[in-house]
Chains A and B, each alone.
Chain A
Amino acid sequence: MIFLRLYLIFFFLIALLGCRPSNKEGVVITIAGSTSIQPFAEKLAEIYMEHHRGVIINVQGGGSTAGIRSVRGEAADIGTCSRELMEEEKDLKRIVIAWDGIAIIVHPKNNIHNLNLTHLRDIFAGKIRYWSELGWVHKRIHFVTREEGSGTRNAFEEMVMHDVPISDEALVEDSNGSVREIVAHDPHAIGYISYGIVDKRVKALSIDGVEPNLGTIKEKRYELTRPFLFVTEEEPHGLARDFIDFILSSEGQGILEREGLVGIR
């Protein structure tokens, strides 16, 4: 009986929690767009909101193109875009907040150091099936991709695959971390992850002779580099301006670099 009473009290407490007054009277800005940028934008928004009580920053996904559409339709104050703007989008105001390189990783024992984009595409399309075709041992290539909908996969498809579909034989993992984990343990695996989380247990390949590092990514000499953009309809002002300034400040850039991106400094 006492348990039942406690249970009911507990239940009402939870119900009460749901009734606390909402703090919607503050200023609200909405950010929408690329799912690759979303986690970083959320992190930045969270820290910004800790500094500025009463400000609410809404971060939504939807994809780069949807982000630009929502800026045009004024459904969002800031759109995020993880690719260069296309011709017809060039009239929008564009701010680079960071660079992201996609590293192609293999096991450290792998004696291949360089790949060109065609070979890379053929591997992921399932056309090159053995490492011997690239001048290594006669073993099947275990290629690891990201799940459908992931921003990193999207970028990889745009920059490497173009219109060729990734083979359905590909192993699929749902995070950069687990792709790295597989490649770190399987000598015959290859995968792609954000440059920021490459560590000593895997080897990042050069693409067309250019090794990925902070310098080559910032100069865009490394081929698999993409900008992380904030896009606005007109010159940002007010809260949006302040938030962007925060991201471009050394604190904001520091946060992005700690999360694995290449800063613009």
Chain B
Amino acid sequence: MKEKIIEKILMLLAFSAIGALLLMAVFIFKEGMPIIFKVGLKNFLFSTHWAPTKGYFGIFSMIVSSLFVTTGALIIGVPLALACAITLAEFAPQRLMVILKPTIELLAGIPSVVYGFLGVVLLVPLIRDYLGGPGLSLLACSIILAIMILPTITSISIDAIQAVPYSYKEGSLALGATHWQTIRMVILKAARSGIITAIMLGMARAIGETMAVIMVAGNALKIPSSPLSPVRTLTSNIALEMGYAAGDHRAALFATGIVLFIFIMIFNVTANIITKRWRRE
């Protein structure tokens, strides 16, 4: 009897989490869809003119900026994270690994506003003084995000590498391959679905990050013409303007949220498909 009750309670709690997600999705769509229909989907997605208090709702430049910033973060972050993961899993002595892995995971726990603050105080002046432009830029944003996604990608990749059966490595070494050849051709191949998942999760984190981005991106509406141009991402658009937004403006911010929601869904579904396909092979 008691068993049954507890089972029911746990079930209820589990469903309340899913319910919250569902409610959120319904709410965002309910608030945001009317404005998309009003200005037209094509206009909303592909116009670069955003002046919500004057009746222009085009988020194309923010979509582009979000993609640029995320790509930039991956270009800088992925090689670092993979190098880190390979070193820790394959080359570093066990004792070092015990210290380093928790340290990297600790990076993930630092609040994003701290990263943003460091970016504004250290990184932005460096870029302004040595590379030019206002410093608040696509580049600053990508570097900060690369550091933020480092722990996610590294620790999941380490787990993926360590999950490769030891016999694979032994077999490869026995055939005369060097340690590096073994890593490159056997271990990384066997661990690739895990590594892709790690990268996808890092990507989702990068595109969804808001606070640090607002602080270092400069938030200009123009499509960036160089890595030194300021950018405004989808997330920072919402956080930046929600303070005073009312009526259609507020609805347009919810609509921006819908676009973001769909982006992240696409990422997650793609990650799932890739992982499943490779696991089958």
Contact = CB atoms under 8 A, between A and B. Distances in A.
B244 A35 contact: yes
B27 to A, nearest CB: 19
Given A148-B249, A182-B136, A61 B244 contact: yes
B219 A186 contact: no
A84 interface: no
B240 interface: yes
A148 B136 contact: no
A135 to B, nearest CB: 21
Contacts of B208: none
Specify which of A62, A151, A182 lies most central, judged by the most chain B CB atoms within 10 Å of its CB: A182
Contacts of B222: 168-169
Contact of B220 (A61, A149, A171): A171
A257 interface: no
A32 to B, nearest CB: 11
B221 A168 contact: yes
A4 interface: yes
A171 B244 contact: no
A61 B222 CA distance: 29
B125 interface: yes
A65 to B, nearest CB: 12
Contact-residue size bin, chain B (C-beta under 8 Å from the other chain) = 20 to 34
Given A148-B51, A149-B241, A172 B135 contact: no
A185 interface: yes
A62 B244 CA distance: 8
Contacts of B175: none
Contact of B134 (A147, A174, A189): A189
> Which of B50, B61, B120, B219 has its CB near the most chain A CB atoms (within 10 A)?
B219
B81 to A, nearest CB: 31
Interface string A174-208: 10000001100110110000000000000000000
Nearest to B124: A185
A62 B52 CA distance: 14
B17 to A, nearest CB: 13
18 contacts: A1-B6, A140-B133, A147-B244, A149-B52, A149-B53, A149-B241, A150-B243, A150-B244, A168-B50, A172-B218, A172-B232, A174-B214, A174-B241, A174-B243, A181-B120, A182-B134, A186-B135, A188-B134
Given A148-B51, A185-B124, 14 more contacts: A140-B133, A147-B240, A147-B241, A148-B241, A149-B52, A149-B53, A168-B48, A171-B134, A171-B136, A174-B214, A174-B240, A181-B120, A188-B134, A189-B134
User: Which are the 5 A-B pairs with shortest beta-carbon distances?
Assistant: A149-B244, A172-B219, A168-B221, A142-B134, A168-B222
